[in-house]
Structure 1
């Protein structure tokens, strides 16, 4: 996993997640299952080698509205989408906010698509930096006309803030942020963290700062994906980064695959307690750290395995490990969500603006 701008008070993410997994009290990594899962992934790749590029060349992201956008609008739209993509849930037992039948991230995509079709320039900071509460609420109106997008006032405040920064410092476009970063992914993540507080996803662990930066990583990889065919905009990414933890349900996939295990106390807490975990709580840090450690170890094992099959399938020389692992995990998430098999595993919610 790429990291940047290290200093004595900052722990590298790869080092941090290993330490978190070694010291966790309620979340445990089943290390013996990592090679098994990596072998399953490799067999899947070899069996479907004709679809190699679909797994390998881009992060699969389901967006509702992008293809016909020109570059500036596309970059701005992705920035708004990722900025607003956090804590899209209501407490268990209450009615969920839905747009066109979808809740959560897909509901957010649908609301932004609907606004665009209604010629509301939600992607334009000239508009959203001054958007009124009533106009904002209308953009994210629900199917039932009664529920509201979660944390509506907070989202409005964040949107005002990022819009003002873009207008004051970056000529009113996120493309200028990309240019200011010299089209370098690590520099762009640093810019996002430095300039926009809702992207400053870091914690204190063992006396040092740990920069998760999940939202920034996800935005950067999506910028890379959607501008991959444009050499003049394409980001330079030294090491592609796992972004799977942007979805709260990925730990359920890891539990189902027997890569993670929760303590009985934590499992029971998720079953009977509707209170969300707090950002920087021990339990949240353990879930995030152990999840990312597992994914990192799968990537390492898949890389090792690929060396045994390169002669058989030379295309594996171009294997983008993080992309492949993320895409397969997201496919498992999709299947598990559709057939509801993930419902048997604990699902947590987190009170945070960072993902």
Structure 2
């Protein structure tokens, strides 16, 4: 089965049983109206409202020429793209820029053999001037990536992408099969839940870095690297920021117990009912919001809606309610 179908079906089951997080249908309708009025007033203008490389933080210098370095960069980026909040003031863009600067200084820095043997000081340097949390786990994720690329793909992430044959879904399958660090699963009330944040954002980042290329499955003349005919299968990427945006809009409602923990900045354990309900309900809320926008006539992909909500959150992060705090290697 399509891994994104697993995400949609399992998170729908969680949302229907959730005790601490509820989705408000009126909040969905109101936010859909607001997004249309403020950001999507003209049909098909979503590309003007969102940008992958906000503030010049990413490397994509060789993407237009279908080069391999951008692909290698994105794989390293999303192997490390988790859990920034324990370090005050450290954000995703510090990692993205740190990796970009490292690659510009030394184009061989992300060669598979070097990734497979990377040490803690090197990984820490990519986050400078901050010291990242879970440094040992981050080193392990990079080493896993380097070893997998060296063993199965001649050291090149772009070879893995080619093997997916222009399918975003197949690329997800390949990454999950070869790199256990991307296998973002949980168990809720005895049932397995699939969330797959980092593997989906990896595919989305590749698509964006190489120019958001949409190809036709059965038309080889349209085929180009990191162009995907099924990119619209991706769900949103469940982490911290989007729930922060949805709560004040009345889309997500938390129980008083969960709200108290978040306000006190208490850690919510990974795999707890509360934590799974937040992520699953966020995925389902964005699915419903996407459906509402499609009914209004907007040709927007779920991935694009996720980017829009995330950027709204980034622009307003100082005024948003606190996010939940979970120590995790998945987001």
Decide: shared fold, TM above 0.5.
yes
CA contact under 8 A between 2:123 and 2:138: conserved in structure 1? Answer: no
1:115 aligns to what?
102
Q: Distance in 1 between matches of 2:83 and 2:116?
A: 21
Deviation at 1:140, TM superposition (A): 3.3
For 1:47, what is the secondary structure of its paired residue?
coil
2:216 aligns to what?
none
Counterparts of residues 175-190 of structure 1 (less than 5 Å): 175-190=158-173
2:269 aligns to what?
278
2:218 aligns to what?
none
Q: Distance in 1 between matches of 2:179 and 2:140?
A: 12
1:265 aligns to what?
257
1:208 equivalent to 2:208? Answer no
TM-score of the pair, normalised by structure 2: 0.86
Q: 1:242 aligns with which of 214, 235, 239?
A: 235
Q: Unaligned stretches of 5+ in structure 1? A: 307-315
CA contact under 8 A between 1:115 and 1:121: conserved in structure 2? Answer: no
Please give the root-mean-square deviation of Cα atoms over the aligned residues, in Å.
Answer: 2.5
Deviation at 1:47, TM superposition (A): 3.0
Q: 2:201 aligns with which of 195, 213, 218?
A: 218
For 1:172, what is the secondary structure of its paired residue?
coil
1:34 aligns to what?
28
In structure 2, the CA distance between the partners of 1:35 and 1:151, relative to structure 1 (3 Å rule), is same
Q: Distance in 1 between matches of 2:248 and 2:21?
A: 14
Deviation at 1:23, TM superposition (A): 1.5
Deviation at 1:243, TM superposition (A): 2.8
In structure 2, the CA distance between the partners of 1:336 and 1:207, relative to structure 1 (3 Å rule), is same
Deviation string 1:221-251 (CA, Å, 9 cap, x unpaired) is: 12122223584211221634233424x1211
State which drifts further: 237-246 or 282-291.
Answer: 237-246
1:351 aligns to what?
327
Deviation at 1:45, TM superposition (A): 5.0
Q: Unaligned stretches of 5+ in structure 2? A: 214-221
Q: Distance in 1 between matches of 2:6 and 2:171?
A: 18
Aligned length: 317
For 1:155, what is the secondary structure of its paired residue?
helix
Deviation at 1:30, TM superposition (A): 1.2
1:320 equivalent to 2:314? Answer no
1:341 aligns to what?
319
For 1:89, what is the secondary structure of its paired residue?
coil
Deviation at 1:83, TM superposition (A): 0.5
In structure 2, the CA distance between the partners of 1:138 and 1:320, relative to structure 1 (3 Å rule), is closer
Q: Distance in 2 between matches of 1:169 and 1:178?
A: 12
Deviation string 1:258-294 (CA, Å, 9 cap, x unpaired) is: 11111111111122253x3232211111100111111
For 2:192, what is the secondary structure of its paired residue?
strand
For 1:297, what is the secondary structure of its paired residue?
helix
CA contact under 8 A between 1:85 and 1:105: conserved in structure 2? Answer: yes
In structure 2, the CA distance between the partners of 1:160 and 1:214, relative to structure 1 (3 Å rule), is same
Deviation at 1:324, TM superposition (A): 4.3
For 2:186, what is the secondary structure of its paired residue?
strand
For 1:256, what is the secondary structure of its paired residue?
coil
TM-score of the pair, normalised by structure 1: 0.81
In structure 2, the CA distance between the partners of 1:77 and 1:17, relative to structure 1 (3 Å rule), is same
Q: Distance in 2 between matches of 1:300 and 1:190?
A: 26
Larger Rg computed on CA atoms = 1
In structure 2, the CA distance between the partners of 1:266 and 1:206, relative to structure 1 (3 Å rule), is closer
Deviation string 1:321-343 (CA, Å, 9 cap, x unpaired) is: 32442243123212312xx220x
For 1:131, what is the secondary structure of its paired residue?
coil
1:67 aligns to what?
60
CA contact under 8 A between 1:202 and 1:210: conserved in structure 2? Answer: yes
Deviation at 1:170, TM superposition (A): 0.6
